[in-house]
Chains A and B, each alone.
Chain A
């Protein structure tokens, strides 16, 4: 009976760090996917603005329906707050939606999206398309960096988690 309890304890001790390692690796794996989805949504915006001159409120509402997860949440947040345009400028609405959506953006990607918010609603079609193109290329670069980081650290995070769990179990039991 005692050995059974010790075995269960060892398993629990090993599982904790392992889960942390797998979560960290999962987050690394999720980041390039989100960046790609975000870039695809911006490409959709470019197409709508180029060919249909779609107003931003309709564009946000459409993207909130077609995009899933945090990217969909970003556009849903914008679409909802457009009701209050005038009480707050577009740039603030964008920034707030960006903060609330769980996009897990870091340095380069975050900066690109924040800069895009300063252009939305204030520039003509040509300026808007140039800003969207610029943001997309920044997101593509951020995605490449995220993939490289995933390759470099993803496996390591998992192995570290497993090893740390195993060591802890050996040391304490």
Chain B
């Protein structure tokens, strides 16, 4: 991704801000704009940006008010909170362009579930960026005897799983450096492909079919039944239903590309959710993403 594209992505995310905050965000040094990963807004505090070197305040930005946070939500949902309700209840939602907004406030409970949030206190706008070439160091290690091996990508939050997964999908779908395969993507939060009016806003390949806006578990099974995929991809496996759908898909001879929150293999082994998947050898390769001062490193482990 060029610096210009990277800055454009930042400005696209900054366009969600109310006028005074947006102005301050746009005044940020252009070089810094290209590296911003998140814009963070907290009621009563100054707006900050998360960069590779840490979280820093935006110069000359006025303190964030409750009305500012409400307006960001209004713009981000296009004044249609009812369309993002299910996502907001889970603490985040994805907006046009694939940017993800984390939301924090006082929970409103109903039937044991978080129905909505009132008195929003903080928002974290994560800037979505494509990094073509991110998958280059790992792609050829995911194949065995000409077959793509089911792979799980792991890192802590913000480690770059979605970026790597998106580039893997694109390369496999386009046959860039490997045989081209049909990829079905279960994009529950719209971060992988950022679909808009039926078209992906991110490059996810020529042979990719995307099912977005519905739970991953359901989407994986629908793709499996309807689209005859050779590869199924899903970001952030977090629910038992997702794991069950992955088992079904793996038993149908489809290769899987998924991501999960974990520090390393030992951390992954400690999590009950992934026990069955690991025991049944659903995944054969593990990619551990680490952030270092020089950038991200990828370590590919053979699981079986």
Please give the residue numbers on chain A whose beta carbons come within 8 Å of chain B beta carbons, in ascending order. 49, 53-57, 82, 85-87, 89-90, 120-125, 128
Are A55 and B71 touching (Cβ within 8 A)? no
Interface string of B4-33 (1 = CB under 8 A from A): 000000000001111100100000000000
Are B75 and A85 touching (Cβ within 8 A)? yes
The 18 sampled A-B contact pairs (Cβ below 8 Å) are A54-B83, A55-B80, A56-B80, A57-B79, A85-B74, A86-B19, A86-B22, A87-B19, A89-B70, A90-B74, A120-B79, A122-B74, A124-B81, A124-B82, A124-B115, A125-B82, A128-B81, A128-B82
Nearest CB of chain B from residue A127's CB, rounded to whole Å: 8
Neighbouring B residues of A82 by C-beta, 8 Å: 78-79
Are A121 and B116 touching (Cβ within 8 A)? no
Q: Give the contacting residue for A55; candidates B19, B83, B88; CB below 8 A.
A: B83
Nearest CB of chain B from residue A93's CB, rounded to whole Å: 8
- Complex: A106 Cα to B298 Cα, angstroms: 67
- Complex: A49 Cα to B80 Cα, angstroms: 10
Residue of A nearest to B85 (CB): A124
Interface string of B207-251 (1 = CB under 8 A from A): 000000000000000000000000000000000000000000000
Are B71 and A89 touching (Cβ within 8 A)? yes
> A-B pairs with CB below 8 Å: how many?
58
Nearest CB of chain A from residue B154's CB, rounded to whole Å: 34
- Complex: A49 Cα to B85 Cα, angstroms: 12
Are B78 and A85 touching (Cβ within 8 A)? yes
Neighbouring A residues of B81 by C-beta, 8 Å: 121-124, 128
Are B78 and A49 touching (Cβ within 8 A)? no
Please give the residue numbers on chain B whose beta carbons come within 8 Å of chain A beta carbons, in ascending order. 15-19, 22, 70-71, 74-75, 77-83, 85, 88, 115-116
Give 3 nearest A-B pairs by CB, closest first.
Answer: A121-B79, A125-B82, A55-B80
Q: Give the contacting residue for A90; candidates B19, B79, B85, B116; CB below 8 A.
A: B79
Neighbouring A residues of B116 by C-beta, 8 Å: 124
Nearest CB of chain A from residue B120's CB, rounded to whole Å: 11
- Complex: A121 Cα to B70 Cα, angstroms: 10
